[in-house]
Amino acid sequence: MNAQEKLDFARIAEAIEYIKENFQSQPTLENIADKVCLSPAHFQRMFTAWAGVSPKKFLQYTSIEYAKKVLKENTLFDTAYETGLSGTSRLYDLFVNIEGMTPGEYKNGGESLSINYSFVESPFGDVIVASTSKGICHMAFADDKTNALEILQIKFPNARYAQMVDAIQQNAIFIFTQDWSKLGEIKLHLKGTDFQLKVWETLLEIPMGRLTTYGDIASKLNNPNASRAVGTAVGENPVAFLIPCHRVIRSSGELGGYHWGVARKTAIIGWEAVRNGIETI
């Protein structure tokens, strides 16, 4: 790291610390940029390049993490006030945009959700697939079915569960036996940060039988220095196989890790390559 890079890093570290200490006053871009002696436009570009998200998004993430703690024991109004937001409407928008659910839904742990789930066979082992009325909300390889169900229930602790196969699930698991282009017909019901959702959306654009790198995804998101943030978002993918995180490898050519095992990742990549080859003959 050269002298200029060290200076830039020190400024970004100072800005992050400033946001964390002053988020309750909801500082503006100009406030934060002035703190590190940069113009707002230059600071915006520098912060996004180093942190992988804009200063505004980082402030929102910091605010919502605090709001989630306060909300457990307080009303929406009190939570908005304690977080430094101007009212409950801003708190509502913050939760919907970042968490994919309203503050009320977060507070009750998904109590209003009805989730159907089932265990199905795939070429790579048993899979648990879960759906709401809006679409697939969870899919994971289930080597241990009891543990797989517990993980789902931890994500939505107060939802109502029914073990049954519905039309949404059936359409989703067709992906193991039909053309990848059928994915356009599958509905997903996901919650995640704006950055995570953008990463997962980019994963959906990787063709079957093709691979990409964390750096390539970061570049597509116009954040070439955000490879680590991309890797974290890829690792938190809530819908195995349908959102093809297995198609992302390291820039060195190594497969890298996989939540459900490198051996399974290798098998999936090989299986897709063969299918793609058959389909293109």
Is 137 a residue of the active site?
no
The secondary structure of 96-129 as a DSSP string is HHHHSS-HHHHHTTSTT-EEEEEEEEETTEEEEE
- Contact between 209 and 272 under an 8 Å Cβ cutoff? The reply is yes
Rounded to a whole number, what is the distance in angstroms from the first to the last CA of the chain?
A: 49
Q: Residue 182 gets which letter from DSSP? A: G
- Contact between 258 and 211 under an 8 Å Cβ cutoff? The reply is no
- How far is Cα 272 from Cα 264, in angstroms, rounded to an integer? 12
**Sign of the alpha-carbon torsion through 31, 32, 36, 39:** negative
- How far is Cα 275 from Cα 69, in angstroms, rounded to an integer? 47
- How far is Cα 153 from Cα 130, in angstroms, rounded to an integer? 11
Helices (H), the chain: 3-22, 29-35, 40-51, 55-71, 76-83, 88-99, 103-107, 145-155, 167-173, 194-203, 214-220, 227-235, 262-279
Active-site entry in 245, 249, 268, 269: 245
- How far is Cα 197 from Cα 191, in angstroms, rounded to an integer? 8
Token match 């992302």: residue? Answer: 248
Q: Catalytic residue positions? A: 245
